[in-house]
A and B are shown apart, each in its own frame.
Chain A
Amino acid sequence: MKTSKYSLLTACVTTILAIVVVLPVRAATVKPSAATHWSLQVHQVDSGNVDLAYSFQIAIYENLVEEVNKTRRFQQVFRDGDHGVSEVPNLLVLKTTVEQYTPGSETRRAVTTVTGATKLTVRSALLTRDGRVVVERTVHGDVHFFGSNLRATHNLARNIAKAIKKTPLPDSATSTALAANKVEP
């Protein structure tokens, strides 16, 4: 009777341990493998009709490349104009269009605390190579208290990267099939 109790207990403990150890490892390995099929090309920022300083456009672009790289969601992150893109089978394109820009002042922020915020609003679209929109959303980036005006671009890029990280990416197989369908007459 005692032995059967012990064996039952051992079996239970082993099962629990197996569940605790194996399941998270599986989850950790399965999740990224679905996403790492894709590479991403970050396009230059389109200022649209907004009068945005060129330094801000460049800062958004550079911060985007950095922040998207940090997410480790993509196999490779390419810049705009990179010739290596043509050899990549599964490519997504990140397009950013500025919708609103409120210029701020670091001095006003330091003196008044409540005014002088720099605010940026952009439309961020993730597209497949054939132009299919995977996700499109409006993202904000502000600097309210500490930091220079350019910090708004860093916050914006971080928010875009966060949004991309949460977005479920399409199955690469369906995309290639779509592309193949498009090529064939």
Chain B
Amino acid sequence: MVHTTNNKRSCQSGERVVLRLFTALVLCSLTASAQSTIHRADGNAALNIRATHLLGFEGAKNNSNGTLSLQDGSLQFQRNGKPGAQVKVGSVRDVILGEESRQVGGLPMTLGKAAIPYSGGRVVSLVAHKKYDTLTLQYVDDDGAVHGAIFQLHKGEAGVVKAALTAQSMSVGSRQGEATKDSSGEVSYENK
């Protein structure tokens, strides 16, 4: 009898430890995402923002974290500070903002949730989700071929990138206009 109560207690304490661990994991993932910073140097000239490249950006790996920067008339995605893929702002044809809710923690979290007894993982799933902004770009390369790229940013940051892109494209457009006397801009910035 004593043995069974001891077993029950140890089992309960084990479950508590698992639950605490997952609560900590959820909190960590939520706070880590809040550490993203927006650095602006020289006013509107440069922009660095933490982003996740979901797909499409030429030369960048899918689902990779990095920094989306905008300077000297080009949009660049860098991983670990290494020089990465870049696209001229002038070749960007469309910028569309979106919003998506995703589960946090990725595959480790999914496996962890599956390991929680009594379907406790489902309860964790209820709170372990977060809203993100998506930034969808459409741009053309030198051959005129259409490319698309999707980035995932923290809430509210996609608008900042869009504003910076608009500012840069306007300045690039005006510079081109001075050179070619052609003021027709084909860049459209939508907000869907």
Instruction: Select A83's contact among B102, B129, B144, beta carbons within 8 Å.
Output: B144
**B146 & A150 in contact (Cβ 8 Å cutoff):** no
Interface segment out of the listed A8-16, A54-62, A175-183: A54-62
Q: Enumerate B172-188 residues with CB–CB distance to A below 8 Å.
A: none
Asked whether B74 is an interface residue with its Cβ less than 8 Å from the other chain, the reply is: no
Assess A81 versus B146: contact at CB under 8 Å? Given A53-B98, A110-B103.
Answer: yes
In the complex, given contacts A59-B54, A83-B144, A110-B129, what are 11 additional A-B residue pairs having Cβ atoms less than 8 angstroms apart? A44-B146, A54-B98, A55-B136, A58-B56, A58-B138, A58-B149, A62-B55, A79-B146, A80-B145, A106-B101, A107-B129
CB-based nearest A residue for B142: A83
Interface residues of A in 76-121 (CB under 8 A from B): 78-84, 105-107, 110-112
Contact A59 B143 (CB under 8 A): no
- Asked whether any CB of chain A lies closer than 8 Å to the CB of B110, the reply is yes
Q: List 20 A-B contacts (CB under 8 A).
A: A53-B98, A53-B192, A54-B192, A58-B148, A59-B54, A59-B55, A59-B148, A62-B56, A62-B149, A80-B145, A81-B145, A81-B146, A106-B129, A107-B103, A107-B125, A107-B129, A111-B122, A112-B122, A146-B110, A148-B102
Could you say which residues of chain A place their CB within 8 Å of the CB of B145?
Answer: 78-82
* A149 adjacent to chain B (CB < 8 Å): yes
- Does B126 lie at the interface of the complex (its beta carbon under 8 Å from any beta carbon of A)? yes
Q: CB of B8 within 8 A of chain A? A: no
Task: List the B residue with the shortest CB-CB distance to A60.
Answer: B148
B147 at the interface (CB under 8 A from A): yes
The answer to whether B144 and A107 touch across the interface, beta carbons within 8 angstroms, is no
B48 → chain A closest CB, angstroms? 23
- Considering only residues 103-159 of chain A, those with a C-beta below 8 Å from chain B are 105-107, 110-112, 146, 148-150
- List A residues at the B interface (Cβ < 8 Å): 44, 53-55, 57-59, 61-63, 78-84, 105-107, 110-112, 146, 148-150
| Beta-carbon contact of A110 and B125 below 8 Å | yes
* Residue with the greatest number of chain A CB neighbours at <10 A, chosen from B110, B144, B192: B144
CA distance A54 to B189 in the complex (A): 12
Contact of B96 among A55, A63, A105, A112 (CB under 8 A): A55
The distance from the CB of B162 to the nearest CB of chain A, in whole angstroms, is 13
Report the Cα distance A146→B56, complex, angstroms. 21
Residues of B within 8 A of A (CB): 54-56, 94, 96, 98, 100-103, 110, 113, 121-122, 125-126, 129, 134, 136, 138, 140, 143-150, 190, 192
- Tell me the complex Cα distance, A149–B136, Å: 15
The answer to whether B101 and A150 have CB atoms under 8 Å apart is no
Most buried by B among A44, A79, A146: A79
Q: Which residues of A contact B150 (CB under 8 A)?
A: 55, 58-59, 150
**6 nearest interchain CB pairs?**
A58-B148, A110-B125, A79-B145, A82-B145, A62-B56, A54-B96
B98 cross-chain contacts in A, Cβ below 8 A: 53-55
Instruction: Give the residues in chain A near B143, CB-CB below 8 Å.
Output: 82-84
> Once the chains bind, are A63 and B103 in contact (CB under 8 Å)?
no
Q: B144 to chain A: which residues have CB within 8 Å?
A: 81-83
Q: Flag if A79 contacts B136 (CB, 8 Å).
A: no
* Contact status B147-A79, CB under 8 Å: yes
Which residues of chain A are near B138, meaning CB under 8 Å? 58
Give bound CA distance, A18 to B146, whole Å: 49
B157 to chain A, nearest CB (A): 16
Question: Is B148 touching A61 in the complex (CB atoms < 8 A)?
Answer: yes
